[in-house]
Chains A and B, each alone.
Chain A
Amino acid sequence: MTTTLKETPKLVGGPANYLDERLGAGSFLKRNLRKVFPDHWSFLLGEIALYSFIILLLTGTFLTFWFKPGMGHVVYDGPYQQLRGVTMSEAYASTLKISFEVRGGLLMRQMHHWAALLFVAGMTVHMLRVFFTGAYRKPRELNWIIGVLLLTLALLEGLTGYSLPDDLLSGAGLRITEGVAISLPLIGTYLTFFLFGGEYPGEDVISRFYSLHILLIPGILLALISAHMILMWVQKHTQMPGTGRTNQNVVGAPFYPAFMAKAGAYFLFTFTAIAGLGTFAQINPIWLFGPYTPADISAGSQPDFYMGFLEGALRLMPAWEINFLGYTLPLSVLIPALVPMGIIMTGLALYPFIEQWVTGDRREHHVADRPRNNPHRTSIGMAAVTFYGILWLLGANDEISSFFHIDLYHTTIFGRVAVFLGPALVYVITYRICMGLQRKDTEVMSHGVESGVIKRMPNGQYIEVHVPPAEDIADHLRGKAPIPVVSGEPDSEGIPPKGARSILGKAKATMSKKYGTEHIALEEDHGHGHAAIGSGDGEDRKELH
């Protein structure tokens, strides 16, 4: 038995009408609630970062109620026996208080820290998804740059937050930060004294980091995340190639109710992950580390994972320095602190523009690439991942050495070689894999897929029957588009085109040719839907190789 609603209930209609007359909410919602979102699991990865950020704001607010960002000395007399009577900073003592005396404090601290790790990890995988599918292409270059800024700011936000409890582990990180700042030529000393308010560690740095961590950087993050979302909303989300999907439409489910339900569910899953980790896995146990004193340092002092690649660079770097006219340029700190970060962040920010320049492609793209279909981009991305990954891995070389019983120096030597050789090797391997996958797609389109049926012919010969791929898969494969190439070929009179005469132009033409032309065209089936491999007529066989 069902009852149908004949008219809107007064309780709903009244307030809705009130708001609509004053805010014009009705037409706004009408326009936006039906917004269509394409569906693919990888499109949700960015939401990990978004929801982690919300949890960070909430748990972080809770922590500010008790945290004291001071470096004044106090003697601990709280419930944690192993530190009673020890002199420590107010910041460290209040973090101990949050952990052991505030109800729910330790859970909130742990959730805040796990959420921070998941925030950066979520951003990283989201960025990789956008990169490898070419979703940064026009018109989304600016949103990509906002993303790179968000990632950079997240690292800075993490660094300042990690330093706040003023424990011995975070002090090691703070000391490295100071080392990097002071190694900068000309401005280093001034910058350090400005940052720390005098000699390291001084009495100001925690409260300054606190302002940055809870006010300035989150404010900018919030603004940029809003901009990131609004741009995504206005420009519409990219979609994977498939049936009926073109550059002019978006195929998917409307925001309300389908996408909203999924997004809501995904928030709850993110919350589950963070609350689950916060409950069951201990993170940043500052009571084990002890309060910071500049004289102490521990084995196994590591940064949080997102700073691991910088730590690794520092550990791999030979002890080089230049002494000139009484001035020292400590390359052993300067290079690892600036070069890998510079390569990765600048490379990320510029990639959309470099690709546009190389391919000459100024068209709008709303359909994403499959990674295999742009093999050079995918290989460059994988090489960068390898470069980052090796530095990251070697940031933990002491733990690796100790756990797997490998000579520490061997890990360093391995890293010094692998950081150069690894990306090159991975580039070649990825390129070959992409080409192989493209050939596989061509084979599927021209020969179909194995049906599992083996037929015996009247003459006694056996053939394996292939059937055409399912229509949605075929449409997915057909999404492959050729990569444009800037022509550098001379015309009939031997004169190269205008853009390709200079050295830069020639380089561009060469790169463009490399980037775009090694491309295996999809060959559609020749009309007979049951291409039989091994039927011996040769015409089919040649497509396989």
Chain B
Amino acid sequence: MIGTGISVNSITARRRHPLARLAVVALALGLLGGGYALFAPSNSADAAIASGKADDVAEGKSLFVAHCASCHGMNAEGGPMAPPLVGVGAAAVDFQVSSGRMPAGGPGPQVPRKPLGEWVTPEAINQLSAYIMTLGGGPQRPTAEMVDPAKGDAAKGGELFRANCIQCHNFVGAGGALTYGKYAPNLNEATPEQIYEAMVTGPQAMPVFNDSTITPEDKRNMIAYIVQMRELKDPGGFGLGRIGPVTEGLVVWIAGLSFMSLTAIWITAKKRKK
């Protein structure tokens, strides 16, 4: 303060003014907000405005900030625990969010399917997808016709399913173990759309089956097979989880041999002489 010509007393007096606190808070908020507006990316948002999706993108972005950004970063650039989402496309967003996998509950070898949060509506997923598509495109979601099981050839799909899927997902999609605590999930809960999206985006441990590996038509055949198999009533009685000999062995030892032992005890039992 020395040499400025303003007395120290007058500055401290202003600081003690009743409105000083309000002014400081207003200044800090202004700086923060202004700084954010200055540095936050706005180019892709401009493009979206031009295409008329500005509202979806803006809504999607705010959903992203609220539910995803803590791990994936404010700009979906990824973080120590989560991959970047630039270029993953709407298909990945829909698969992950509509199956409840994202937002993830916590770190682990693999993120499980879980019940959807209250905010997860088809509209919210659309908005989130629109925002992620503005970050660098990526696989689009399939149309209803592309995943209609009624339009597929299940027998052909079955052959492709056996050639490409059962190594991990088991004969009819009961799921199976992978290394380091990862696993191929049971396919019974997946919707036709989710199955398609999983194939084109390769979530978690799953490889990508893009359109040059398996054509969209063959994908629909495979979806037809998966859906028909899960609806197929087991002609032989209880399906025992459809995982083959492990449960059959358990049944013969637990039910079969217990029954035989109990009947053996029964027919050889005799009254004790008192």
- Choose one: B155, B158, B252, B259; the contact of A117 (CB below 8 Å): B252
- A266/B168 contact (C-beta < 8 A), A121-B256, A305-B252, A399-B246 known: no
- Assembled-state Cα–Cα distance A100/B168 (Å): 28
B234 at the interface (CB under 8 A from A): yes
Instruction: Let me know if A41 and B245 touch, CB within 8 A.
Output: no
Interchain nearest-CB distance for A75 vs B (Å)? 10
Instruction: Let me know if B237 and A82 touch, CB within 8 A.
Output: no
- Assembled-state Cα–Cα distance A45/B265 (Å): 10
Instruction: Let me know if B171 and A304 touch, CB within 8 A.
Output: no
A interface, over-half SS:
helix
Question: Residues of B contacting A113 with CB < 8 Å?
Answer: 248
Q: Quick one: closest A residue to B238, CB to CB?
A: A281
Question: Residues of B contacting A283 with CB < 8 Å?
Answer: 236, 240, 248
Instruction: Let me know if B246 and A273 touch, CB within 8 A.
Output: no
A34 at the interface (CB under 8 A from B): no
B251 at the interface (CB under 8 A from A): yes
Q: Quick one: closest A residue to B176, CB to CB?
A: A299
Instruction: Let me know if B156 and A288 touch, CB within 8 A.
Output: no
B79 at the interface (CB under 8 A from A): no
- A262/B267 contact (C-beta < 8 A), A121-B256, A282-B237 known: yes
- Mark contacts of B51-66 with chain A using CB atoms, 8 A cut-off: 1 yes-contact digit, 0 otherwise: 0000000000000000
- A281/B251 contact (C-beta < 8 A), A266-B264, A288-B172, A401-B183 known: yes
B27 at the interface (CB under 8 A from A): no
- Mark contacts of B254-274 with chain A using CB atoms, 8 A cut-off: 1 yes-contact digit, 0 otherwise: 011101110111011110110
A48 at the interface (CB under 8 A from B): yes
B interface, over-half SS:
helix
Instruction: Let me know if A288 and B229 touch, CB within 8 A.
Output: yes
- Choose one: B159, B240, B260, B261; the contact of A282 (CB below 8 Å): B240
Instruction: Let me know if B243 and A300 touch, CB within 8 A.
Output: yes
Stretch at the interface among A290-298, A330-338, A356-364, A449-457: A290-298
Question: Residues of B contacting A82 with CB < 8 Å?
Answer: 154-155, 158, 225, 228-229, 232
A83 at the interface (CB under 8 A from B): yes
A396 at the interface (CB under 8 A from B): yes
- Choose one: A39, A281, A397; the contact of B240 (CB below 8 Å): A281
Q: Quick one: closest A residue to B161, CB to CB?
A: A290
A14 at the interface (CB under 8 A from B): no
Stretch at the interface among A54-62, A201-209, A404-412, A479-487: A404-412
Question: Residues of A contacting B268 with CB < 8 Å?
Answer: 39-41, 43-44, 262
Q: Quick one: closest A residue to B248, CB to CB?
A: A283
Interchain nearest-CB distance for B256 vs A (Å)? 5
- Choose one: A118, A168, A290, A402; the contact of B177 (CB below 8 Å): A402
- Contact-residue bracket for chain A: 35 or more
Interchain nearest-CB distance for A193 vs B (Å)? 28
B70 at the interface (CB under 8 A from A): no
B179 at the interface (CB under 8 A from A): yes
Interchain nearest-CB distance for B222 vs A (Å)? 12
Instruction: Let me know if A299 and B180 touch, CB within 8 A.
Output: no
Instruction: Let me know if A121 and B267 touch, CB within 8 A.
Output: no
Number of residue pairs across A and B with beta carbons under 8 Å?
A: 196
Question: Which of A118, A399, A405 has the most C-beta atoms of chain B within 10 angstroms of its own C-beta?
Answer: A399
Instruction: Let me know if A402 and B175 touch, CB within 8 A.
Output: yes
We find that the number of chain B residues with CB closer than 8 angstroms to chain A is: 61
A510 at the interface (CB under 8 A from B): no
Interchain nearest-CB distance for B45 vs A (Å)? 42
Instruction: Let me know if A298 and B246 touch, CB within 8 A.
Output: no
- Mark contacts of A158-169 with chain B using CB atoms, 8 A cut-off: 1 yes-contact digit, 0 otherwise: 000000000011
B174 at the interface (CB under 8 A from A): yes
A86 at the interface (CB under 8 A from B): yes
Interchain nearest-CB distance for B243 vs A (Å)? 5
Q: Quick one: closest A residue to B234, CB to CB?
A: A282
A270 at the interface (CB under 8 A from B): yes
Give residues of chain A (123-157) contacting chain B, Cβ–Cβ below 8 Å: 125
A106 at the interface (CB under 8 A from B): yes
Q: Quick one: closest A residue to B229, CB to CB?
A: A82
Q: Quick one: closest B residue to A470, CB to CB?
A: B272
Instruction: Let me know if B184 and A299 touch, CB within 8 A.
Output: yes
Interchain nearest-CB distance for B186 vs A (Å)? 9
Instruction: Let me know if B181 and A405 touch, CB within 8 A.
Output: yes
Instruction: Let me know if B177 and A401 touch, CB within 8 A.
Output: yes
Instruction: Let me know if A300 and B246 touch, CB within 8 A.
Output: yes
- Choose one: B169, B229, B245; the contact of A303 (CB below 8 Å): B245
Question: Residues of B contacting A397 with CB < 8 Å?
Answer: 177
Instruction: Let me know if B256 and A304 touch, CB within 8 A.
Output: no
Question: Residues of B contacting A303 with CB < 8 Å?
Answer: 245
- Choose one: B155, B159, B171, B269; the contact of A81 (CB below 8 Å): B155
B83 at the interface (CB under 8 A from A): no
- Assembled-state Cα–Cα distance A413/B273 (Å): 54
Q: Quick one: closest A residue to B157, CB to CB?
A: A82
B162 at the interface (CB under 8 A from A): yes
A42 at the interface (CB under 8 A from B): yes
A535 at the interface (CB under 8 A from B): no
Question: Residues of B contacting A110 with CB < 8 Å?
Answer: 236-237
- A288/B171 contact (C-beta < 8 A), A169-B244, A281-B251 known: yes
Question: Residues of A contacting B179 with CB < 8 Å?
Answer: 407-409
Interchain nearest-CB distance for B156 vs A (Å)? 7
Task: Jot down 24 A-B pairs with beta carbons below 8 A, ordered by A.
Answer: A41-B269, A43-B268, A45-B260, A45-B264, A48-B260, A81-B155, A83-B155, A106-B236, A168-B166, A266-B267, A273-B259, A281-B255, A282-B236, A282-B240, A296-B162, A299-B177, A301-B244, A304-B249, A305-B245, A305-B253, A308-B249, A399-B246, A401-B177, A409-B180
Which B residues are within 8 Å of any A CB, using their own CB?
A: 109, 154-156, 158-159, 162-163, 166-172, 174-181, 183-184, 225, 228-229, 232, 234-240, 242-246, 248-249, 251-253, 255-257, 259-261, 263-265, 267-270, 272-273
Q: Which 5 pairs of residues, A with B, have the shortest CB-CB distance? A: A299-B176, A305-B249, A282-B236, A401-B177, A298-B166
Which A residues are within 8 Å of any B CB, using their own CB?
A: 39-45, 48, 81-86, 99-100, 106, 110, 113-114, 117-118, 121-122, 125, 168-169, 262, 265-266, 269-270, 272-273, 277, 279-285, 288-290, 293, 295-305, 308, 396-399, 401-402, 405-409, 470, 472
**Other contacts beyond A81-B154, A285-B239, A305-B245: 19, CB < 8 A:** A42-B264, A100-B235, A113-B248, A118-B252, A122-B260, A168-B162, A269-B263, A281-B238, A281-B240, A281-B248, A282-B239, A296-B163, A297-B166, A301-B244, A302-B246, A304-B249, A399-B243, A401-B183, A472-B272
